[in-house]
C-alpha cells in the first residue's frame, strides 16, 4: 500500500519513511516546499518510484491535504512544531491542532482508500509534573499544561506551551473520529513517545540545526555542565518501527500507545558512550543516584505492537558514531 507521511523532512519522519520503504510500502512524503524535499528525493532515490513528494505549503490552510490524501491507504501525521521558543502559545497550538484536524478532515472527504491514520502525539500529552514519583500510562492526560496556558497565556512556561499543543491536538484527533465515526472508513492510532534520541538521517549542516531532542543530547555531550537533568527516552529507530507496526496490526486501531524505554539522567548517556569517544565524560556514575519522578508504562506497546526496545548502549553508540562521522 501507499502511505502519506506529513512533515516528511522532520527528524522522526525521515526514519518513519525509511522504515516504511524497507517494509515494502510506497510513501508519499509531504513537505512545505520543493527545497525541503530535495534531500529526501536524494536519500530515497534507491527506492525509485516507491517514494514521491507532495508539497503542502501551509498545514493550517483549510483543505491543505485534500490532494495529498488521494490514493493513499494510510496516513502517518507527524508534522507539528516542537520547540521552546514560542511567545504566543498560538504559534504552537495553531499548526498542531489545525494541522491534525485538517489532515483528518481531508481524509474524511477525499481519502476513500484510507484504512488507518496514525498520529504522532507525545508523552507531552500524557505527563504531569509532580513532586511525587509517578508511573503514567495511556489513561493519563496532561491537563496540567493546558490549565497553565489557559491561565497564563504568553507567560506560561515554554514547556507548557509545547505540551498544550500536543495535548489539544491529540484530543482533537480523538474527538474527530468520535464525531465522524459513521462517515469514515478508517480508524485512528496514536503514538506517544517521550524524548526521541538516536542517529539522524535528515539533511542538516551543523549541530545548531539539530531538532530539539537530539540537540539536547548533543548539548549534554558538548557543553560545560551539559549533563545535568534527564527525562524518559525512546530510540528514533524503534519509534519508526512502531509507526509501521501501527499500520500493520489491526489491534492498534482505536488505541493510544506509549512508545518509551525508560528514564535517564544525561550522565547515563555519557557513561554509555563507546570507550574512546571524543566527547566529554562528565562525572561517571553520577547518574545512578538520580531520582526519576516520572516514568511511563510501555506494556501496551509490547502487547499491541510487539515492541522490543533497544538498549541505551546501542543508541549511544549509534549516535556518537553518527556525530563523529559528520566531524562534529
Ligand atoms: P522536527 O522539528 O525534526 O520535525 C517537525 C516536522 O514538522 C518538520 O517536517 C516540520 O516542517 C513540520 N512542521 C513543524 N511546524 C510546522 C508548521 N507550522 N507547518 C508545517 N509543518 C510544520 O521534529 P521531530 O521529528 O522531533 O517531531 C516530529 C513529531 O514528533 C512532532 O509531532 C513532535 O511533536 C513529535 N514528538 C517529538 C519528540 C522528540 O523528542 N523529537 C517527542 C515526542 C513527540 P519544517 O521542516 O518545514 O519546519
Q: What is the ipTM of this complex?
A: 0.99
Q: Which of 81, 192, 207 to mutate to test the pocket of ligand 1 (most atoms within 8 A of CB)?
A: 81
The rounded mean pLDDT for the chain is 97
β-strand pairing of 262-265 with 116-120: unpaired
Give the model's pLDDT for residue 248.
98
Q: Ligand 1: which of 5, 10, 89 to mutate, most ligand atoms within 8 Å of CB? A: 10
- Minimum-distance ligand 1 atom for the alpha carbon of 193: 43
Q: Which atom of ligand 1 is nearest to the CA of 33?
A: 47
> At a CB cut-off of 8 Å and minimum separation 6, what does 64 contact?
56, 57, 58, 99, 102, 103, 106
Q: How far is CA 306 from the centre of its chain?
A: 19
User: Residue 261 pLDDT more than 80?
Assistant: yes
Candidate from 9, 12, 96, 127 with most ligand 1 atoms within 8 A of CB, to mutate: 12
CA distance linking residue 273 with residue 177, whole number of Å: 44
Cell 493550517 belongs to: 60
Per-residue pLDDT band at 202 (split at 50, 70, 90): confident
pLDDT at residue number 142 = 98
In whole angstroms, give the CA distance from residue 135 to residue 237: 24
Please tell me the predicted confidence (pLDDT) of residue 274.
96
Given a contact cutoff of 8 angstroms between Cβ atoms, the answer to whether 323 and 274 are in contact is no
DSSP β-bridge partners for residue 26:
2
CA 29 – ligand 1 centroid, Å: 14
Confidence category of residue 157, pLDDT binned at 50, 70, 90: very high
pLDDT at residue 203 is higher than 80: no
Distance between CA atoms of residues 137 and 225, nearest Å: 32
Q: What is the pTM of this model?
A: 0.98
Is residue 231 in contact with ligand 1, taking CB distance under 6 Å? no
Grid cell in block for residue 217: 543530547
Reported confidence tier of residue 115, pLDDT bands at 50, 70, 90: very high
CA-nearest residue for atom 47, ligand 1, is 32
| 156 pLDDT above the threshold of 80 | yes
Beta bridge partners of 235: 197
Residue 251: Cβ within 10 Å count = 11
Ligand 1: does its nearest atom lie under 6 Å from the Cβ of 36? yes
Question: In ligand 1, which atom is closest to the CA atom of 123?
Answer: 43
Average confidence (pLDDT) over 93-102: 98
Mutating to test ligand 1, I would choose from 29, 30, 82, 203 the residue with most ligand atoms within 8 A of its C-beta, which is 82
pLDDT at 275 exceeding the cut of 80? yes
Q: Which helix (H) or strand (E) holds 304?
A: helix 299-305
The CB of 256 under 6 Å from ligand 1? The reply is no
Is ligand 1 within 6 A of the CB of residue 51?
no
Question: 39 — phi, psi (to 5°)?
Answer: -60, -40
214 lines ligand 1 (CB under 6 A): no
Which amino acid residue places its CA nearest to atom 43 of ligand 1? 122
Integer CA distances (angstroms), 15 to 28, 236, 241, 301, 305, in order: 14, 7, 9, 19, 18
Ligand 1 close to Cβ of residue 14 (< 6 A): no
Cα separation, 213 vs 210, whole angstroms: 8
Q: What pLDDT does 241 receive?
A: 98
The answer to whether 193 and 234 are in contact (CB under 8 A) is: yes
What confidence tier does 147 reach under pLDDT thresholds 50, 70, 90? Answer: very high
Element (H or E) spanning 151, and its range? helix 143-152
Instruction: Say whether domain 2-325 belongs to CATH 3.40.228.10.
Output: no
Cβ neighbours, 10 Å, residue 73: 17
pLDDT for the residue 12:
98
**Cα–Cα distance between 207 and 230 in angstroms, integer?**
20
Measured in angstroms, how far is the CA atom of residue 234 from the centroid of ligand 1? Answer: 16
Check pLDDT > 90 for residue 78: yes
pLDDT tops 90 at residue 69: yes
Amino acid at each position: 500500500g501507499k502511505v502519506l507521511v506529513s512533515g516528511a523532512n522532520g527528524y522522526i519522519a525521515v526514519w518513519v519513511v525509511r522504515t516504511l520503504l524497507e517494509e515494502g510500502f510506497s510513501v508519499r512524503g509531504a513537505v512545505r516546499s520543493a527545497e525541503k524535499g530535495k534531500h529526501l528525493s536524494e536519500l530515497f532515490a534507491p527506492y525509485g518510484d516507491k517514494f514521491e513528494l507532495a508539497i503542502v505549503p501551509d498545514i493550517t490552510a483549510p483543505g491543505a491535504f485534500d490532494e495529498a490524501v488521494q490514493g493513499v491507504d494510510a496516513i502517518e501525521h507527524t508534522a507539528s512544531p516542537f520547540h521552546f521558543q514560542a511567545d504566543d502559545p498560538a504559534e504552537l497550538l495553531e499548526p498542531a491542532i489545525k494541522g491534525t484536524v485538517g489532515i483528518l478532515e481531508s481524509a474524511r472527504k477525499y481519502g476513500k482508500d484510507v484504512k488507518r491514520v496514525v498520529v504522532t502525539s507525545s508523552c507531552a500529552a500524557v505527563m504531569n509534573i509532580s513532586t511525587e514519583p509517578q508511573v503514567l500510562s495511556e489513561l493519563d492526560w496532561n491537563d496540567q499544561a493546558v490549565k497553565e496556558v489557559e491561565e497564563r497565556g504568553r507567560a506560561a512556561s515554554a514547556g507548557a506551551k509545547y505540551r498544550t499543543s500536543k495535548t489539544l491536538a491529540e484530543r482533537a484527533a480523538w474527538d474527530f473520529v468520535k464525531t465522524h465515526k459513521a462517515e469514515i472508513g478508517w480508524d485512528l492510532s496514536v503514538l506517544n513517545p517521550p524524548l526521541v534520541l538516536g542517529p539522524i538521517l535528515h539533511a542538516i549542516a551543523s549541530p545548531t540545526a539539530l531538532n530539539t531532542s537530539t540537540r539536547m543530547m548533543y548539548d549534554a555531550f558538548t557543553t560545560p555542565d551539559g549533563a545535568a537533568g534527564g527525562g524518559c527516552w525512546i530510540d528514533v529507530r524503534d519509534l519508526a518501527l512502531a509507526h509501521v507496526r501501527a499500520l500493520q496490526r489491526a489491534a492498534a486501531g482505536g488505541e493510544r500507545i506509549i512508545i518509551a524505554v525508560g528514564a535517564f539522567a544525561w550522565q547515563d548517556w555519557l557513561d554509555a558512550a563507546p570507550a574512546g569517544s571524543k566527547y566529554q565524560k562528565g562525572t561517571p556514575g553520577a547518574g545512578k543516584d538520580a531520582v526519576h519522578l516520572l516514568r511511563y508504562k510501555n506494556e501496551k506497546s509490547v502487547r499491541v505492537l510487539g515492541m522490543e526496545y533497544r538498549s541505551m548502549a546501542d543508541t549511544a553508540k549509534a549516535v556518537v558514531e553518527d556525530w563523529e562521522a559528520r566531524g562534529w
